[in-house]
Homo-oligomer: A and B are copies of this chain.
């Protein structure tokens, strides 16, 4: 059992707090831990929580799994597994206890129990590991009934889903600074699940969530768009209401939709900058609304210029605006992916976004939003969902407990 008082652990409060003038660099150089109190938003920190401090580790314990609210790290690897036949409640409990031990060790920078290569677990990796369960892991013999509104995303007109990027009974998201450490942690988790589940798919992406001075920034997708400006800010009531299941046996959980969105960079690059900006409703330079202000300011959906709406009716930021959805929101995180594909005419690179949406109630928050975008969204011209999966992210756990304990016992 790791020592929760370890000086290199960032407290949950510290994780969500503001690193401020301490900054990424100075803290690392001095070997300090960022645990500044208070969760008050700071203008230099649009995306919410502070960027991880190299060499620090993120505590795995608390009311929620910490990877959800964590500022997007450099590397995210997500795997889905399918449960083997006959794996029911008791076996799931065994798996969850094994995984809990793995999560505690790997996020502390130690090798997982029995790891033949513990040196690949590095404290410098700022690792989080987030465990979720899919529809196939629910039901009376497994995790029981899911939280309210949890179900598969209904088919969308623009979907071109491939089985190889879709579905799954279990999901493990490993995120951190270093791709090798992340890959090793994923391998350990998948290997330790071998008696219970088989790998279904694996997806890997990157995100640039820090500016040249090491301060957190929202980050950009491969179209070059600042992506995630409209997110509720971790540490706020709005975030908590949006993301966490508030009560019942799933209290502290959230639901996750993962969509693999292929992006056609070539045709996108053919657009003028004006066309690109109007398709979203934000400037490319800094993500500010086309109606003025700074990145985090709200869009003025009524603003007109030269007799037409500044943010067009089919602009992505209008179609997904909470005011069109009764104030309902999601919390979204992206990871850019590229993948080499063999074709008869040689190699090609497929590019896109691993789009993760977190919300308390999938049917109430995510589905209407997605339907609205499916009906009308300029971005549909250059983006195609080729994978889709839904999971309940298990509630957090405290030291001495384990993932899903209250749900399985």
Give residues in A with beta carbon < 8 Å to B: 8, 22-31, 54-55, 74-75, 82, 109, 116-120, 122-125, 164, 177-181, 183-184, 187, 190, 198-208, 210-214, 219-220, 222-224, 226, 265, 268-269, 271, 273, 276, 284-285, 336, 338, 340, 342, 346-349, 351
9 contacts between A and B (CB under 8 A): A25-B26, A25-B54, A55-B213, A75-B179, A116-B268, A164-B347, A180-B208, A183-B338, A203-B340
Other-chain contact of A178, B74, B164, B222, B346 (Cβ < 8 Å): B74
Report the Cα distance A276→B119, complex, angstroms. 14
Contact A183 B336 (CB under 8 A): yes
Q: With the chains together, A338 CA to B120 CA distance in Å?
A: 14
Closest to A55 in B: B212
A214 near B179: Cβ-Cβ < 8 Å: no
**How far, in angstroms, from A117 to B256 measured CA to CA in the complex?**
30
- Closest chain-B Cβ to A49's Cβ sits at a distance in Å of 18
CB contacts (< 8 Å) of A124 on chain B: these are 208, 210-214
Q: Classify the interface of chain A: helix, strand, loop or mixed.
A: mixed
Contact of A123 among B187, B212, B222, B349 (CB under 8 A): B212
Closest to A122 in B: B208
Question: Is B54 a contact partner of A284 (Cβ separation < 8 A)?
Answer: no
CB contact between A206 and one of B180, B211, B223 (< 8 Å): that residue? B180
Chain B residue at minimum C-beta to C-beta distance from A183? B338
Is B347 a contact partner of A117 (Cβ separation < 8 A)?
A: no
Whether the Cβ atoms of A213 and B180 lie closer than 8 Å is no
Residues from chain B with Cβ under 8 Å of A75 in the complex:
179, 206
Q: Which residues of B contact A223 (CB under 8 A)?
A: 117
| CB of A134 to closest CB in B, whole Å | 15
A180 touches B207 (CB 8 A): yes
**Cross-interface CB contact of A120 among B25, B116, B224, cutoff 8 Å:** B224
A161 to chain B, nearest CB (A): 16
Please state if A74 and B179 are interface contacts (CB–CB under 8 Å).
yes
Which residue of B is nearest A271, CB measured?
B116
Assess whether A340 is in contact with B220, with CB atoms less than 8 Å apart. Answer: no
Contact among B28, B179, B340 with A25 in the assembled complex (CB-CB below 8 Å): B28
Specify the chain B residue showing the minimal Cβ separation from A164.
B342
How far does the Cβ of A115 sit from chain B's closest Cβ, in whole Å? 9
Q: A224–B117 contact, CB under 8 A? A: yes
The 3 closest A-B pairs by CB, nearest first: A179-B206, A25-B28, A25-B29
Cα separation A282 to B25 with both chains bound (whole Å): 34
- Interface-centre pick from A25, A203, A213, A276 (highest chain B CB count, 10 A): A25
The residue in chain B whose Cβ has the minimal distance to the Cβ of A8 is: B212
The answer to whether B201 and A347 touch across the interface, beta carbons within 8 angstroms, is: yes
